Amino acid sequence: MIRLSDVRKVYHTRSGDNVVLDGVGFSLAMGERLGVLGRNGAGKSTMVRLISGAERPTAGRVERYMSVSWPLAFGGAFQPTLSGIDNIRFISRIYAQDFQRNLAFVAEFSELGRYLHEPVRNYSSGMRARLAFAISMIIEFDCFLIDEIGAVGDARFHDRCNHELFGKRGDRAMVLISHDPGYLRDHCNRFALLHGGRLALFDDFDEAYDRFREAIGLVAAPSIDAAAAVDRAALIEVAQHRALGDERFRLLVREGDWRRDARDWAAAEERYAAALALHPYQRSYWVQLAHVAKERGAFARAEAAYRTACALGEPAADVVEHLRFVVAQGGADPAAWPIHPYRKGAAGTQVSGRPDVEALAWLLWPGAGIDDAEATDLLRRHGDGDRLAAAMIADPRFAAAAEVAPAAGVDGEILRVLAFAHRTPADGAAAVAQLPPDAPAWPVAAAAGAFRDWPHVQQALTP
């Protein structure tokens, strides 16, 4: 049994006191596995360190009536300048364990072979993780603390870890932290949400997870630095980092992955689409969206998504087979509509994806809306943004641009890198901000010099 009562932890920093835990209390008995959910920086690792005894609470009590491990898979518990064997020897001495038996186990489990004679600092991160986990398993604790075990290593290693932990040691108490709530759902029987320094306990995963979603939803979007993305190519590049750094995005795509694994294609697609609405230029999840759309039989939408992924830089070779399949399923000849592969250069010369089509349509075809077939057709026909926009201007629907106010909801940043690519980021953002919300936007944009360096657009605009 472990009991935390009214535990408080405050770190003194230069910018004042940082209250990480504020009145946390729970108890954990043998056989109970507590999965702790929480945002990055919510204090999950701090709580684990307090339970392990490596750190002491500012106030409150941590009582241990059973032996508690150090945080598992934690690579720092050994000395990098020593060899793997010397580290095993040290741990064996500290815990009065039989070194030869431990060495045999670690060598067998970690499969490090002769590397065990090398200093740990020469190991790759995967090798370190294998050694750390194997060393953690040589001492039979009553309670295991597991802080992000899934971060490194391959699938086979994870399976073996899971077998050691939840198979052989399923009767022990555990506290688990993971960036992947699915891992906690599959292995825990109690759940907790750490938020704002407080710990809420749940017996049911879904209930805990709903609260976790709320907590993440309350997070403001990470502030975006427009100067980081001077043009469309740069925006595509930073989108990958921004998306993965955004907890809302990660939450949505993770849910999409679960639904996909459960073969609930409609729900999966809905999650992926919601995630991509936050970060439209994140390419890899366009591929996932395309896959689930394909499974649902929405071939036009799948094709648009595959083309978008390629336009944003996903290697065409990884996508081409799928694309040919959905084109054929849609009743067209795959050979007639090849992939337009990603291209470097100015925005007008780059291949468009669905987010670009949506932004262009907002400006050029206000009120018309773009369906899957229309979007797919535009992406098929036009190898760059300039020609695509010119084709839209040549279309009768462009007539509305001078008269109809556009609907709400355009990605201003995409509009900026397309229409105002010739301006500096700050200038372009100002031009986008000046577009009227309730009056025709195109005349204002045209007056601001939209698409100045796009020759086909300029030609199409010439009467």
Partner 1 sequence: MTAAQAPVPVRPPPPRLRDSLRVQGRVLVALLLREMLTRYGRHNIGFLWLFVEPMLFTLGVAALWTAAKAYHGSNLPIVAFALTGYSSVLLWRNMPGRCIGALWSNLSLLYHRNIRVLDIYVARVLLEFGGATMSFAGLSVLFIVLGMIDPPKNILEVVGGWLLIAWFGGALAITLGALSHQSELVDKLWHPASYLIFPLSGSAFLVDALPAAAQKYVLYIPMVHGTEIVREGYFGSRVHAHYDLGYILPFCLVLTFVALFTTQWVARRVVPE
Least Cβ distance, residue 55 to partner 1 (angstroms): 6
Which residue lies nearer to partner 1 by CB, 21 or 415?
21
Distant-in-sequence, close-in-space partners of 49: CB < 8 Å, separation ≥ 6: 55, 71
Cα dihedral 6/12/16/21 (nearest 10):
-20
Coil, helix or strand for 138? Answer: coil
Per-position x/- string for 51-90, each x denoting binding to partner 1 as judged by CB under 8 A, each - no binding: -xxxxx------x-x--x-xx--x-xxxx-xx---x--xx
Q: Look at the block and give the residue holding tokens 């040691």.
A: 169
Least Cβ distance, residue 8 to partner 1 (angstroms): 14
In 327-408, the DSSP E strands lie at none
| Residue type at 159 in one-letter notation | D
Cα–Cα distance between 252 and 276 in angstroms, integer?
9
Q: Check binding of 96 to partner 1 (CB under 8 A).
A: yes
Least Cβ distance, residue 367 to partner 1 (angstroms): 58
Q: Check binding of 31 to partner 1 (CB under 8 A).
A: yes
Q: Give the torsion sign (CA, 450, 452, 456, 462).
A: positive
Q: Check binding of 191 to partner 1 (CB under 8 A).
A: no
| Binding segment (CB under 8 A) for partner 1, from list 23-31, 101-109, 158-166, 403-411 | 23-31
Q: Are 387 and 340 in contact (CB under 8 A)?
A: no
Coil, helix or strand for 333? Answer: coil
Cα–Cα distance between 160 and 58 in angstroms, integer?
38
Among 33, 39, 44, 49, binds partner 1 (CB under 8 A): 49
Which residue lies nearer to partner 1 by CB, 80 or 436?
80
Which residue lies nearer to partner 1 by CB, 3 or 343?
3
Cα–Cα distance between 197 and 266 in angstroms, integer?
36
Which residue lies nearer to partner 1 by CB, 147 or 358?
147
Q: Check binding of 430 to partner 1 (CB under 8 A).
A: no
| Residue type at 66 in one-letter notation | M
Least Cβ distance, residue 37 to partner 1 (angstroms): 22
Q: Are 252 and 212 in contact (CB under 8 A)?
A: no
Distant-in-sequence, close-in-space partners of 206: CB < 8 Å, separation ≥ 6: none
Which residue lies nearer to partner 1 by CB, 55 or 295?
55
Q: Check binding of 13 to partner 1 (CB under 8 A).
A: no
Task: Kindly identify the residues of this chain, within the stretch 159-178, that bind partner 1 according to CB under 8 A.
Answer: 171
Which residue lies nearer to partner 1 by CB, 49 or 291?
49
Least Cβ distance, residue 108 to partner 1 (angstroms): 23
Q: How many CA atoms lie within 13 A of 426 on its CB side?
A: 1
Closest of 297, 276, 454, 445 to residue 382, by C-alpha: 454
Per-position x/- string for 372-401, each x denoting binding to partner 1 as judged by CB under 8 A, each - no binding: ------------------------------
Q: Are 312 and 284 in contact (CB under 8 A)?
A: no
Among 14, 15, 16, 94, binds partner 1 (CB under 8 A): 94
Which residue lies nearer to partner 1 by CB, 170 or 345?
170
Q: Give the torsion sign (CA, 411, 413, 418, 423).
A: positive
Cα–Cα distance between 445 and 457 in angstroms, integer?
13
Per-position x/- string for 122-161, each x denoting binding to partner 1 as judged by CB under 8 A, each - no binding: ----------------------------------------
Which residue lies nearer to partner 1 by CB, 171 or 333?
171
Which residue lies nearer to partner 1 by CB, 78 or 365?
78
Cα–Cα distance between 148 and 344 in angstroms, integer?
38
Among 95, 225, 241, 394, binds partner 1 (CB under 8 A): 95
Pair of tokens at residue 208: 């805990």
Question: How many residues sit in the footprint of partner 1 (CB under 8 A)?
Answer: 35
Which residue lies nearer to partner 1 by CB, 1 or 107?
1
**How distant, in Å, are the alpha carbons of 186, 200, 275 from that of 206?**
12, 14, 20
Interface residue list for partner 1 (CB under 8 A): 1, 3, 11, 27, 29-32, 49, 52-56, 63, 65, 68, 70-71, 74, 76-79, 81-82, 86, 89-91, 93-96, 171
